[in-house]
Structure 1
Amino acid sequence: MEKLDILMKTDVVLVFVITIGILMQKKEINNLLVSIVKAIMGYNIIVFGSNLAISTLGVLSLTIRRSLHVFDIIPSNETMISIVGYSYGKNALFIMIIAMVINIIIAKLTPLKYIFINGYYILYMSGMLALLINDKPTYSLIILSGIYLGFFMSFLPFITAPFIKKITGREDIGLAHFGSVACLIGGMTSLIFKNSKEEKKEKKKSSFMRDSSVLMAISMFFIYLLAIINIENGFLYDFTGETNKLYIAFKYSINFTVAFYLIILGVRMMTDEILFAFKGIGEKIIKDAKPAMDSAVFFTYNPEIVMLGFVTSLVGGIVTLMVQIKIKSPVVVPPVTTHLFSGGLAGIFGYVVGKRKGALLSAFVHGIIITVIPIFLLPLLRPHIGLMRTCYADSDFGILAIIFTFLRKLLF
């Protein structure tokens, strides 16, 4: 498992990719060192911001669960990878290596030119596939799992490429994210709001608000305040160390805003170096190779809509949760971090085709999808994780697990 962790650390992958790309362009060693340092600094700023966001949103998640008194299915990618742990780490490593090789082969031989650079998401998905074959981890199933994952590491960036092009205005970068399907479905539903007349009006609005950290902090203040207003002081003190609700809402809204802008700062530092390195890889190794990168990379293009998408996706999740309670189905607690990183992206997908109304619809649909899919995913994982009430949070884990289970039954 230690080798697995080292191999899949994104900073290690970045150093490897940048080194190859710079050397292929026959640049001097000082250029290589500058690119590596800037990319790793950017990555670590992203990690610091992401960890701060996750811990801050963890408080929001706890208060939502406490307010609604629901503890049925609690999706969490981080919890799932800890379950994979040492028991399934060896198989996950093999699946991961096969998947990365398949991803490169596909990029070399087909029009799917995307290299999936998101180490931890590859780790998460490899772990899930290792769980799904745990009852019979034969070499054939391990190889099938690796090929299966490698194909989707190439295919998902390809099918989201039209939206990414609209978001970025460029074709040399893709999305490496296993929440792609829900974002894609949300973005496609927003096509009903496609309206060219709205574009100029929206541009004037967003130009004023695009970089407004104050707007974000105020929005999150009210979200936190609404979440904790009816929570007893003793419970709040246990996990925040504070009892004053106004102060708690203020503190965590500021922490969230700082985290968000740290992520954006890190992305800006890292992305330029990655794209520069891929110029060498594309010219010398894989013609027209394109890096596929995490959802946070695309937050820089419209931070305001990311916030709108996050809040709307969370609302979609809570509304769906209420319906689940009403119809007495299994209840899925909203994974707040996923609503930020995937729901925010879904908002951008919707915005580029349907402006603000499109962003609202896309993110809301995303929130519904990720609150429904765990109901179908958990039964597939339960034989391998026992009675634990958790599963993976992003949409593609459930979708790929269902397809893989069907494929396995068909072939074996």
Structure 2
Amino acid sequence: MEVIMYLIRNVFSQAVFIIGIVVIVGMAAQKKTWDQILPSVIKTMIGFTMINVGGQTLGVSLLPLQTMITKIFNLPEIPVDIGAAQSESLSGIGTEMALIFALGFVVNLLLARFTRFKYVHLSAHVSFFYAGLIAALLKFGTNLSFVPLVAVGAVLLGTYMTFSCAYVAVFMKEVKGGEGFTLAHSSSVGILISSLLAKTFGNKEHDLENINVPKKLNFLREMTISLTIVMTILFLAISLLSGPAWALKNVTGGQDILVFSFLKGLSFGMWITVIITGVRMMLSEIIAAFHGIANKIIPNSVPGLDIPLLFPNYPNSVILGFLTSLIAGLLGMMVLGLLNYPVVVFPALIPTFFTGAVTAIFGNAHGGRRGAIIGSFVNGLILIFGQALLLPMIGTYAPIMRILSETDYSFYGPILGWILKLFGGM
């Protein structure tokens, strides 16, 4: 048992190893030789690491904004240390979470093999934290003992992994660069809602990515450049609103706010470049390797991959989606404040960036500019109101959810909590 727990916590909880194993299995099924498999595995794992590290660092670089916005709205200080929050959150549910994560993946593979829903969820970092949410809801909301709790949790996780990939796949057909895979990410319900709203209220002919700009501003079409400029302006504006002297003392470490903002913008642009490079490297290998699994092991299966794979084709949507979801979250926060809601909530900026970006991408793909705005705005509201409902339900798991609570956590979490309450804690 100790060996199994070691492998779950140290090997299978690392998404990069899952990706590497998938490539090995897929290429071995195609009868490739070791000298063909090894370089492909290494390139895929490096590409994935570039996407993963780039995405995480990109998100962490936004955290100073959260500190300054908290000051602007005179809110109680909310911790933003991801490592400390994760350690605190896992203290009460670590074993249950690890087993639900591992067995949930097995359930996903079985569903993909023996049902018509042929989707293999490969974003292990996503399913790992979702396993924590399920473990927390079951542990703090039911009277289940250890074994039934893990069994129920694994079925819930595996079902979520399979069907979230499945309904996102329905809307992937209209998305540029989305061929050959679906998305495995905890923004899936945001993607679903955004796509449906965009189809209903949007206009596909007004594509956000086809905005006419003067020739001399054509450089803004390049995602690295446009994001660098936008993030520099955003950091500078928030620094000024929070008070330059206060920001100098509490956020920038004594660095002039103009220099601080420009360096943050450059860092953001650099990590976006890392992500884009990783996307190209990973996609060129894993799609070909997965054909072996789709042909020989799980017939007709489709891999579920992470959302940054779509970012290179939608630079305007990424920017607009983040800003629109942030505005919606801040408005939602003010509404909760006016209602004297007992739990203090704040738009978590890492989820706001990634889920806002991808809901705008799908909104734009299905309903143009209007679809992107509507989809990402509704996404921001789900993030803030859902977090407000979720936090009282999950006990010690609350600190990490304050930082990483994405759309699926905020939407499905309270629903599962209410269902458990309805059945009297089972």
Q: Is the shorter-chain TM-score for this pair beyond 0.5, marking a shared fold? A: yes
Is 1:211 aligned with 2:222?
yes
Find the counterpart in structure 2 of residue 16 from structure 1: 21
Tell me if structure 1 keeps the 8 A contact 2:325–2:377. yes
Deviation at 1:350, TM superposition (A): 0.6
Tell me if structure 2 keeps the 8 A contact 1:313–1:365. yes
Counting only pairs closer than 5 Å after superposition, residues 298-313 of structure 1 correspond to structure 2 as 298-313=310-325
Moved more, 164-173 or 240-249: 164-173
CA offsets, 1:136-189, max 9 Å, x none? 443112101100110010001111112222113655311111121123212322
- Within the candidate set 223, 245, 264, 2:276 is matched to 264
Give the distance between the partners of 2:190 and 2:349, measured in 1 at CA. 15
Find the counterpart in structure 1 of residue 35 from structure 2: 30
Give the distance between the partners of 1:70 and 1:388, measured in 2 at CA. 19
CA RMSD of aligned residues (A): 2.7
Counterpart of 2:164, as a letter, is L
Structure 2 unmatched ranges of 5 or more: none
Per the alignment, do residues 80 and 126 of structure 1 end up closer, same or farther by CA in structure 2, a change over 3 Å counting? Answer: farther
Find the counterpart in structure 1 of residue 368 from structure 2: 355
Deviation at 1:338, TM superposition (A): 0.8
Is 1:175 aligned with 2:183?
yes
Tell me if structure 2 keeps the 8 A contact 1:316–1:368. yes
Identity %, equivalent residues: 27
Give the distance between the partners of 2:399 and 2:15, measured in 1 at CA. 32
Tell me if structure 2 keeps the 8 A contact 1:75–1:393. no
Q: So what's the TM-score if we normalise by structure 1?
A: 0.91
Counterpart of 2:235, as a letter, is Y
- Within the candidate set 200, 209, 225, 2:236 is matched to 225
Deviation at 1:403, TM superposition (A): 3.6
User: Paired residues, what number?
Assistant: 410
Tell me if structure 2 keeps the 8 A contact 1:102–1:150. yes
Tell me if structure 2 keeps the 8 A contact 1:299–1:306. yes
Provide the secondary structure at the position in 2 that maps to 1:151: helix
Is 1:367 aligned with 2:375?
no
Find the counterpart in structure 2 of residue 251 from structure 1: 263
Deviation at 1:315, TM superposition (A): 1.2
Tell me if structure 1 keeps the 8 A contact 2:54–2:274. yes
Moved more, 387-396 or 20-29: 387-396
Give the distance between the partners of 2:403 and 2:62, measured in 1 at CA. 18
Find the counterpart in structure 1 of residue 68 from structure 2: 63
Tell me if structure 2 keeps the 8 A contact 1:234–1:243. no
Counterpart of 2:32, as a letter, is K
Counting only pairs closer than 5 Å after superposition, residues 356-395 of structure 1 correspond to structure 2 as 356-382=369-395, 384=396, 390=402, 392-395=404-407
Find the counterpart in structure 2 of residue 112 from structure 1: 117
Counting only pairs closer than 5 Å after superposition, residues 268-347 of structure 1 correspond to structure 2 as 268-329=280-341, 330-347=343-360
Give the distance between the partners of 2:115 and 2:356, measured in 1 at CA. 31
Deviation at 1:65, TM superposition (A): 1.1
Q: So what's the TM-score if we normalise by structure 2?
A: 0.88
Tell me if structure 2 keeps the 8 A contact 1:50–1:263. yes
Counting only pairs closer than 5 Å after superposition, residues 37-56 of structure 1 correspond to structure 2 as 37-56=42-61
Is 1:95 aligned with 2:63?
no
Tell me if structure 2 keeps the 8 A contact 1:75–1:335. no
Per the alignment, do residues 282 and 162 of structure 1 end up closer, same or farther by CA in structure 2, a change over 3 Å counting? Answer: same
Per the alignment, do residues 404 and 107 of structure 1 end up closer, same or farther by CA in structure 2, a change over 3 Å counting? Answer: same
Tell me if structure 2 keeps the 8 A contact 1:73–1:391. no
Find the counterpart in structure 2 of residue 155 from structure 1: 163
Tell me if structure 2 keeps the 8 A contact 1:175–1:293. yes
Tell me if structure 1 keeps the 8 A contact 2:60–2:350. no
Give the distance between the partners of 2:68 and 2:373, measured in 1 at CA. 24
Tell me if structure 2 keeps the 8 A contact 1:210–1:302. no
Tell me if structure 2 keeps the 8 A contact 1:112–1:154. yes
